[in-house]
Amino acid sequence: KKRIILDVDTGIDDAVAVLYALLSPDIELVGITTVFGNIEVEQATENTLRLIKLANCGYEVPVAMGAAKPLARHYSGPVPHIHGNNGIGDVELPKSEQKPLEESADDFIIRKAHELPGELIIVPVGRMTNVAAAVQKDPSIAKLINRVVIMGGTVFAPGNVTPVSEANFWGDPEAAAVLFNSELPITVVGLDVTMKVKLTRQHLEQLLQNAPSEKRDVALFLQQSMDRYIQFYGESNGFLGACAMHDPLAVLVAVDPSLVRTQTLKAVIDCGHDLTAGMIITDRRFNSVIGREIDFCLEVEEERSLSQLLSVFAAPAAA
Ligand code: BDR
Ligand code: CA
């Protein structure tokens, strides 16, 4: 099993990633850390606790609350037109008894990196503020962490906030730069691949029909929460009854890197304040000199990724 910390700004696709990670037989979810982004960090934390209750995965998964704002800028605020007023498509999930840890997200990451040397995979699917804060506090963790698999950014595909910047990089470029300038081994699962993995209304309908009884509530939540998200992808990207599985793909790649083809490129993050804020600048020249080597996912096996994702929700709960 892969030992993973998932770092989320629990919006709709984050919720799918959380449920997948909780229910996958290939993952031991060491913990979930939360960050501002799609919504405020308090609401992201609340959503996460409720999703853990919904998944009922059979083991305890600690939640540590993290950053409420970027390292060096203002938080631009939630995006209710994409993720709803509560971040999860305005679906009201039952409240959980579980409380977040007293420990902050960055301290939790540091502690687990030391407890699990060489094993821990961190999957940030929101702004990278928590992971950046952790490496700034304790640079020694860079050599202890097995890999950081980031959802965000883009190399060749268009951005989704500015023409060249993706939301998780645009929302805290300085944090992304801390990771890129560190010694952490990094894989970037960006819009080049995530925009190709599309979940359709038909998938959700089929899932609801086929889900085993113990996972019916999860299937129902997936269908209800994704309704407006699918509408948004139609209006903003011309998708036909489908939405992009950004955050789940990063978790899938952390488990099974063979789903993507990567290219190692030297890269830096633009920390300006205009259209290029958060842009990933890859140095693709023959004699590349700028930046550090990062693995970028450029191609993905869409069908296999989707079926691996859906199979976890359709399979009976592990004994
Ligand atoms: C990323 O931004 C957020 O809206 C999504 O949850 C995803 O992490 C896509 O650009
Ligand atoms: Ca996210």
> Which ligand is located closest to the Cα atom of residue 168?
1
Q: What is the DSSP letter of 318?
A: P
- 113 CA from centroid of ligand 2 (Å): 22
The tens digit of pLDDT for each residue in 51-60 reads 999 999 999 9
d(Cα 43, Cα 247) in Å, to the nearest integer?
Answer: 18
Contact 35, 9 (CB under 8 A): yes
- 151 CA from centroid of ligand 1 (Å): 8
The tens digit of pLDDT for each residue in 204-247 reads 999 999 999 999 999 999 999 999 999 999 999 999 999 999 99
Strand partners, 32: 6, 63
**Which atom, in ligand 1's list, is nearest to the CA of 126?**
8
**CB-based burial, 178-191: b 16+ in 10 Å, e otherwise:** bbbebebbbbbbbb
* Beta carbons within 8 Å of 239's beta carbon, 6+ residues apart: 198, 230, 233
d(Cα 203, Cα 139) in Å, to the nearest integer?
Answer: 43
Residue 70's alpha-carbon distances to 75, 86, 170, 176, 239, in angstroms, are 6, 20, 10, 10, 31
71 pLDDT higher than 80: yes
The tens digit of pLDDT for each residue in 129-187 reads 999 999 999 999 999 999 999 999 999 999 999 999 999 999 999 999 999 999 999 99
**Radius of gyration over alpha carbons of the chain, in Å?**
18
Q: Is 246 a catalytic residue?
A: yes
Ligand 1 surroundings by CB, under 6 angstroms: 11, 13-14, 38, 125-126, 151, 160, 166-168, 246-247
Q: Show the beta-strand stretches assigned E in 103-259.
A: 121-124, 147-151, 186-189, 198-200, 242-244
The tens digit of pLDDT for each residue in 7-64 reads 999 999 999 999 999 999 999 999 999 999 999 999 999 999 999 999 999 999 999 9
Nearest in space to 222 (alpha carbons), one of 15, 73, 38: 15
319 pLDDT higher than 70: no
d(Cα 172, Cα 209) in Å, to the nearest integer?
Answer: 40
In this prediction, residues 65-72 reach a mean pLDDT of 98
Confidence band for 317, pLDDT divided at 50, 70 and 90: confident
**SS3 call for 233:** helix
- 168 CA from centroid of ligand 1 (Å): 6
**Which atom, in ligand 1's list, is nearest to the CA of 38?**
4
Question: Could you give the angle at the alpha carbon of 300 between the alpha carbons of 298 and 304, nearest 5°?
Answer: 170
The tens digit of pLDDT for each residue in 254-302 reads 999 999 999 999 999 999 999 999 999 999 999 999 999 999 999 999 9
